[in-house]
Amino acid sequence: LTVLQQAKGGPVGLQILKDNTWVPIQPIPNALVINIGDTIEVLTNGKYRSVEHRAVAHEEKDRLSIVTFFAPSYDVELGPMPEFVDENHPCKYRTYNHGEYSKHYVTNKLQGKKTLDFAKIQTKNTN
């Protein structure tokens, strides 16, 4: 999860990727912006999707960012939780080791959502 409080009247520092275009997220006073990460997307079998996002600097205004990462241990096995998989919602992700994901993430030059492709179950086209 990313939890962000943008400063009222401050520069826009958050952008999300939508339809291959970076879109600025305008600050809402007294609001927190929550970005769901890849782990939550996998655990919920895609019900809650992670969003590719980035922080940007402003040419004239300073912005303060404090970032802390918290993640599962490298030896934890992750996959969709059973309550998110049924005959109407087939399993979209394989179970994988979090250390394997982390290594894949950092060795693939932080390619956004493409990093999660290694965990997706490929469906065969029957056409």
Sign of the torsion formed by the C-alpha atoms of 93, 116, 23 and 2:
positive
The pLDDT assigned to 68 comes to: 73
Task: Write out pLDDT tens, residues 28-61.
Answer: 878 888 888 888 999 999 999 988 888 887 777 7
CATH number listed for the domain at residues 2-119: 2.60.120.330
**Band of pLDDT at residue 113, cut at 50, 70 and 90:** low
Answer with the residue of higher pLDDT: 40 or 67: 40
pLDDT at 107: 78
Whole-angstrom distance, CA of residue 113 vs CA of residue 99: 17
Q: Which one is predicted more confidently, 68 or 25?
A: 25
Per residue in 82-102, pLDDT (tens digit) is 999 999 999 999 999 999 888
